[in-house]
């Protein structure tokens, strides 16, 4: 069985990941990590599920990785990079679903992947991964006369905007259209903005309530609109995708992958 370490195990995604591991006969929970000031430290990782696993929630990353196969991380950039460095030091693969990395931090991830396998994706959902491929296909057909806009909605606790998934969808559209997202993205409109530049890709962000994650890519032409939408109703979809990514890396020695690689869409 694949021995899995879950980072941020007391959070919303951590809970979904633990549930996914406990439900999969091909996986076993090797260790569970949380921040040092978490009240969950020292408790059994299965306690919240009404079961005792013998795995105590810890903040000791080095010990947690001993004998492990893969670490799955949905935390924040700073701790995620610390986990990455630890994984690289002991040769453990890593699935990274964390978002909000800077360009320099993404370079660190790419560098680490030269020695360990890393699946890095802003959204681990199988459905969103398919959506990325559909956006690429649509953009190649709707390359003239259609304006591209990306609308995303998330819960009130999300700290980065636009979402990593929205940015990945924008990259998919921009690549297919032969554009550079860094120069053509518009992240907000206010006041007298003038007419829309046909070469731009717009983003609109909604934050509120407990929205798990909604994404729509809109191709607006004259007389018609094409809308490609994915709505997540449970974090389980991200957890199941991440654990699928963990299995994908089982026979890999190194390399940087995303969910399109995991699903064989390349």
Positions marked active-site: 154, 158
Is 107 strand, coil or helix? helix
Is 113 strand, coil or helix? coil
| Helix ranges, the chain (H) | 12-23, 61-65, 77-90, 103-112, 126-141, 164-177, 181-184, 236-248, 259-262
Angle between helices 12-23 and 236-248 (to 10 degrees): 60
The Cα 60–Cα 226 span in angstroms is: 49
Is 166 strand, coil or helix? helix
The residue whose two tokens read 């064989």 is: 264
Candidates 58, 105, 101, 66; CA nearest to 87 is: 66
């Amino acid at each position: 069985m694949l021995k899995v370490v879950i980072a941020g195990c007391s959070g919303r995604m951590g809970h979904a990941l633990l549930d996914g591991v406990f439900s999969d006969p091909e996986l076993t929970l090797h260790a569970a990590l949380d921040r040092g000031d978490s009240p969950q430290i020292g408790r059994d990782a299965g306690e919240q599920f009404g079961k005792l696993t013998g795995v105590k929630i810890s903040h000791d990353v080095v010990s947690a990785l001993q004998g492990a196969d893969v670490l799955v991380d949905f935390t924040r950039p700073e701790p995620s990079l610390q986990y990455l460095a630890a994984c690289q030091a002991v040769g453990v693969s890593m699935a990274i679903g964390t978002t909000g990395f800077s360009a320099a931090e993404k370079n660190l991830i790419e560098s680490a992947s030269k020695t360990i396998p890393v699946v890095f994706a802003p959204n681990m959902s199988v459905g969103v991964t398919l959506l990325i491929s559909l956006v690429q296909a649509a953009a190649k057909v709707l390359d003239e006369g259609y304006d591209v806009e990306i609308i995303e909605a998330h819960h009130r606790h999300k700290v980065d905007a636009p979402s990593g998934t929205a940015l990945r969808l924008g990259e998919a559209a921009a690549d297919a259209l032969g554009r550079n997202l860094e120069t053509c993205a518009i992240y907000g409109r206010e006041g007298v903005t003038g007419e829309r530049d046909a070469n731009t890709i717009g983003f609109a962000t909604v934050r509120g309530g407990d929205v798990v994650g909604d994404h729509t890519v809109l191709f607006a032409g004259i007389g018609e609109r094409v809308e490609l939408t994915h709505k997540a109703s449970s974090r389980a979809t991200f957890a199941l995708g991440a654990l699928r990514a963990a299995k994908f890396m089982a026979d890999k020695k190194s390399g940087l992958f995303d969910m399109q690689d995991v699903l064989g869409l390349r």
